[in-house]
Amino acid sequence: MTQQISELEYLKLTGWQKFSYKFVMFFKGLPRAFLNFFTLAIPCFFKKIWNVIKGWGLTIGGAAKHGDWKTRTSFVVFGFSQLARKQWLRGILYLVFELLFILYMALFGGQYLGLFGSLGKVQRGEVEDPVTGLWTYTDGDNSLLILLYGILTIAFIVCFVYAWYKNIKSSYIAQQIEEAGQRLATAKQDMASLLNEQYHKTLLGIPLAGLTIFTIIPIIFMVFLAFTNYDQEHLPPTQLFTWIGWDNFKLVFGGDVSGAASFGYTFAQVLLWTVLWAFFATFSNYILGMVVAIIINKKGVRFKKLWRTILVMTIAVPQFVSLLLMSQMLGTEGAFNKILMSWGWIDSPIPFLTDATLAKVSIILVNIWIGIPYTMLMTTGILMNIPEDLYESARIDGAGPVKAFFKITLPYMLHVTAPYLITQFIGNLNNFNVIYLLTGGAPLTLDFAGNAGRTDLLITWLYKLVMDKQLYGMASVISILMFIITAVVSLITYNRSSSVKNEEDFM
Amino acid sequence: MKKQIISLIVGGVLAAGSAMGLAACGKKDNTLTVWAPNNQQTLLQELINDFKTENPDFGLEIKLGVCGENDAYAQLSKDVEASADVYGFANDQLINLRKAGGVSRIPADTVTKLKQENEVNAVEAGMITEAGTDYYYGYPYAADNGFFMYYDKSVVSETQAKTLEGVLEACKAAGKYFLFNMNDQPSWYLGSFFYGAGGDYTVEYENSVVVSAGCNFGEKAEGSEYSYGQIAITALNELRANKNYVTCNDTIINTYLTGGKLGACVSGTWNASLMQQYLGENYAATKLPTYHSSLTDDDYQIVPFQGFKLMAVNGYSKHQAEAHQLAAYLTSEKAQTKRFDVLGIGPSNKAAAAAESVKKNVALNALLSQGSFSKVQGSLPSSYWSAFDALGTDIYGGEGKLTQDSLATKLQQLIEALEE
């Protein structure tokens, strides 16, 4: 059953065998998919970038070789060629950009770029006033600001290089147009083109700028933090922090993985629970939610709207309120234990949230309780969408309700909701709310490093590393690893899901 | 046309220049911010008003913000420059605050005055030795940051209150419970069993950075084949197994107290008025009991931490002189007396502590009676807290069924976690 088989052989298999064959092949294919991702997709991406840069080089080379004096002066003075060719708007914009850049580097960016290699040298000073005995303080370098402005400056330099290239390209094209005896576009025409053939630039300009400033640069900043020793002992503005290379990564990967209380061991254990949790949380909600929806949808069930309303009512209560309430009720002195004890069913409180294994079970159960209404709502719509004639013909052919479920309902649902399942899975990998509000990662244990508890997910551990332990560098490493895991898992599973492969099915 | 270009360029440069100028311009204000815990807000506002009337030419406005003494470092480390100028904190955070630049040195003559007026331990709790010189950073204002035992006189007799076994027995007889935190961030309390057995934990700093930290819990107790740690950890495990023992936090204490199920409980002065209210005539407090070790067949006195609350001036305050003046006022004898009168906070000032009303206070008396054997709580690294917090949940999660082997593993892990 683990070998690739021909289509004919496949058709000979029984239903269950077909399913398990597909199941096995999916997981057998995963390593190859991972391999492809790293050996094909990623190199391909870099190759594309390289091609773009090569294209730039060719343009610049051509301009240097065949350009007239106006074009060549543009190599140094931005917009000179455009101004000389009376393209006033373009010329001025390029020139102003260059002047701004020079001004910025001279007044501001240069000093930060100079300190970028060391992230600051001058420590904050302390001087006693000989007369009053009061201590006064002199400001030192702020490593955090140096890192931040250093990155911004580098980003600005990249923009500058790009503008330089565009400036040369634009003047070279202008020169070619002139040589061909055609007329150049005026400022008015340039502006008008932004609403016509260049309209995509107008539309995408603002979102792109927003994305760069609010998402990409913070991510780059965060990645850089992983290579510093920014922690409680090196807290700016009073203390300096500096580059430490791959040391943080070595603590996670190089450490003793089998032993106790090392970051490597903790990371492995927390990751294991994170994946387990995501799996159970996603599929328990999905399947049970679907079952509830099917039950309510069934012909002959009365008060359909009432049942749906009752279930949806739980959504009306904010999730964090339900979670906090649950955490109270499940506590050692909580309502559940109190009731069970007063009934005489138990002698001592059940450690719902304080015993490692029981806490994990409780979390998944509470999550089911919170999550089912959402899945039910979503699947109700899709279930109603399945053509009734499919079921009818199945019935005529003698299929029972169970067979109809596995042959019609489930494949249809899986096909339609695969992307939803993947988002759910990824969302659950990073499900901060449920864990943090229910157990806060408890029970803590001496087996783990970095204040991690038995029910901590990577994301809640990350929160602890930042808020309690102030290990910013280490936290950054963990978040990079989380990003890699979630990105790779979602890309690969999504690309292999049937909704992407057989997009036209069930249309 | 050329003129237009030039004016455009000049305009652009000017705009850019002014934008940078704005960015470089810092705020310059004339307010002092004071942070104090929620329950001291009214009191401090009164003290600040008094201060203003006594110093009419004090040029700054004073603003009051909320920050618990235990959260001072957590709040301050987020943005030390934007934090309060003057704030109160529990003395164990001193080293971290110093590292973050959040405390300013106190001028030498003020220190001399503080030493004359306050308990020596309290002043020294605000001291850090740097390069061989002692520097002082904290104005002490409370000497009650410790824990002891409250009990219900109708349940536990005075003799029974002397030993843990007596307390548990009394609770069993009356169907009540003994409350001791083992599960909800219990690190502050848990060390007491280890110090009681004779163990010790030491931490050394150099320029506010931990150079070495560790404990002797692994060493064999004198004249015994068991280590200090073994004695303590076994006792904790046995306590956990006891049916009349309950772990607690302030909420649980409240529940048990109002539900009339509390026999005795280990807590601090902040619960005094609550205890008095519900236990009424049976309200009593005493030193922590001794515990009996089943390993060595000996009794050990549980040794609590003795901590202080200090007020500090932020090193980043722009008005150092005024901030120090205000901090000194807010921790003066007058202020401490007022703190005790209104909130029952135990003063560190000798004159304020000598008052008749302080001596009559049951809770403070219990706390002070531990002075001879309690351990002064210095600045502890964060590894201390996380290690003991984790030990607590590990033992609690074991439900008292942990074997000697697994206890030995836990002990070894604790020792390793404490070492730096």
- Give residue-wise pLDDT tens across range B296-313: 999 999 999 988 999 999
Segment B348-370, tens digit of pLDDT: 999 998 888 888 899 998 988 88
Bridging pattern class, strands B262-267 and B177-179? parallel
Asked which of A207-211, A347-351, B212-216, B247-251 is least confident by mean pLDDT, the reply is A347-351
The distance of A451 to chain B (nearest Cα, Å) reads 6
What per-residue confidence (pLDDT) applies to B37? 92
Q: Which of residues 22-41 of A touch B (CB under 8 A)?
A: none
The distance of B138 to chain A (nearest Cα, Å) reads 14
What per-residue confidence (pLDDT) applies to A502? 66
> Is B152 in contact with B130 (CB distance < 8 Å)?
no
Which chain B residue is nearest to residue A124, measuring alpha carbons? B101
Residues on chain A touching B77 (C-beta within 8 angstroms): 232, 235, 470
Residues on chain A touching B392 (C-beta within 8 angstroms): 444
Residues on chain A touching B386 (C-beta within 8 angstroms): 444, 451, 468-469
CB of B15 within 8 Å of any CB in chain A?
no
CB of A97 within 8 Å of any CB in chain B?
no
CB of B386 within 8 Å of any CB in chain A?
yes
Question: Distance (Å, rounded) from C-alpha A237 to C-alpha A228?
Answer: 15
Name every residue whose Cβ is closer than 8 Å to that of residue A343 and which is 6 or more positions away in sequence: none
- E strands, B228-348, where? 245-246, 262-267, 283-286, 290-292, 299-301, 305-313
Segment B153-167, tens digit of pLDDT: 999 999 999 999 999
> Is A422 in contact with A497 (CB distance < 8 Å)?
yes
Segment A221-266, tens digit of pLDDT: 999 999 999 988 888 888 899 999 998 998 888 766 555 568 888 9
Question: Distance (Å, rounded) from C-alpha A210 to C-alpha B324?
Answer: 45
Element (H, E) at B210: strand B209-215
Residues on chain A touching B105 (C-beta within 8 angstroms): 126, 128, 135
Question: Distance (Å, rounded) from C-alpha B342 to C-alpha B8?
Answer: 68
What per-residue confidence (pLDDT) applies to B316? 93
Following CA atoms B128, B131, B134, B139 in sequence, which dihedral angle do they give, to the nearest 10 degrees? -40
Mean pLDDT over B123-147 rounds to 89
Q: Do A124 and B101 touch (CB under 8 A)?
A: yes
What per-residue confidence (pLDDT) applies to A112? 93
Enter the pTM of the model. 0.83
Q: How many residues does chain A have?
A: 507
pLDDT band of B419, cuts 50, 70, 90: confident
CB of B204 within 8 Å of any CB in chain A?
no
Question: Distance (Å, rounded) from C-alpha A63 to C-alpha A75?
Answer: 9
B107's tokens: 């001028």
What per-residue confidence (pLDDT) applies to B167? 95
CA A500 to chain centre: 21
Region class of B374: left (phi > 0), else alpha (psi between -120 and 50), else beta = beta
Q: Do A446 and B413 touch (CB under 8 A)?
A: yes
Segment B78-95, tens digit of pLDDT: 889 999 999 999 998 998
Mean pLDDT over B207-230 rounds to 88
What per-residue confidence (pLDDT) applies to B27? 44
The residue among A155 and A38 whose pLDDT is bigger is A155
CA A339 to chain centre: 43
CB of A351 within 8 Å of any CB in chain B?
yes
Asked which of A52-56, A269-273, A473-477, A490-494 is least confident by mean pLDDT, the reply is A490-494
Mean pLDDT over A48-56 rounds to 93
pLDDT band of B121, cuts 50, 70, 90: confident
What per-residue confidence (pLDDT) applies to A506? 53
From the list B35, B32, B31, B33, the residue with the least C-alpha distance to B66 is B35
Which of B16, B100, B252 faces A235 most closely, judged by CB atoms?
Answer: B100
Mean pLDDT over A358-379 rounds to 92
What is the pLDDT of chain B when averaged over all its residues? 88
CA geometry: angle A460, A463, A468, nearest 5 deg? 120
> Is B398 in contact with B328 (CB distance < 8 Å)?
no
pLDDT band of A496, cuts 50, 70, 90: confident
B210's tokens: 């931990």
Whether B112 shows a pLDDT value over 60: the answer reads yes
Whether A455 shows a pLDDT value over 70: the answer reads yes
Whether A405 shows a pLDDT value over 90: the answer reads no
Segment B313-343, tens digit of pLDDT: 999 999 999 999 999 999 999 999 999 998 8
CB of A135 within 8 Å of any CB in chain B?
yes
Q: How many beta-carbon pairs under 8 angstroms link A with B?
A: 127
CA geometry: angle A126, A129, A131, nearest 5 deg? 165
CB of A354 within 8 Å of any CB in chain B?
yes
Residues on chain A touching B246 (C-beta within 8 angstroms): 332-333
Q: Do B107 and A133 touch (CB under 8 A)?
A: yes
Q: Which of residues 110-129 of A touch B (CB under 8 A)?
A: 124, 126, 128
Mean pLDDT over A293-320 rounds to 87
Mean pLDDT over B396-420 rounds to 90
Which chain B residue is nearest to residue A334, measuring alpha carbons? B252
What per-residue confidence (pLDDT) applies to A501? 67
Q: φ, ψ for residue A420 (rounded to 5)?
A: -65, -45
What per-residue confidence (pLDDT) applies to A454? 92
Residues on chain A touching B396 (C-beta within 8 angstroms): 354, 443
Query: What 8-state DSSP symbol labels residue A18?
Result: H
Which of A95, A103, A134 faces B321 most closely, judged by CB atoms?
Answer: A134
What per-residue confidence (pLDDT) applies to B26? 41
pLDDT band of B63, cuts 50, 70, 90: very high
Q: Do A445 and B393 touch (CB under 8 A)?
A: yes
> Is A452 in contact with A441 (CB distance < 8 Å)?
yes
pLDDT band of A341, cuts 50, 70, 90: confident
ipTM: 0.80
What per-residue confidence (pLDDT) applies to B18? 43
Q: φ, ψ for residue A471 (rounded to 5)?
A: -95, 75
What per-residue confidence (pLDDT) applies to A503? 62
pLDDT band of A504, cuts 50, 70, 90: low
CB of B280 within 8 Å of any CB in chain A?
no
Question: Distance (Å, rounded) from C-alpha B96 to C-alpha B209?
Answer: 9
Residues on chain A touching B102 (C-beta within 8 angstroms): 238
Segment B193-216, tens digit of pLDDT: 999 999 999 888 887 778 888 999
Mean pLDDT over A185-194 rounds to 84
Segment A116-128, tens digit of pLDDT: 999 999 988 888 8
Which of B100, B107, B251 faces A238 most closely, judged by CB atoms?
Answer: B100
pLDDT band of B1, cuts 50, 70, 90: very low
Interface test with A, best of B1, B3, B5 (most A CBs within 10 A): B5
Which of B109, B247, B394 faces A332 most closely, judged by CB atoms?
Answer: B247
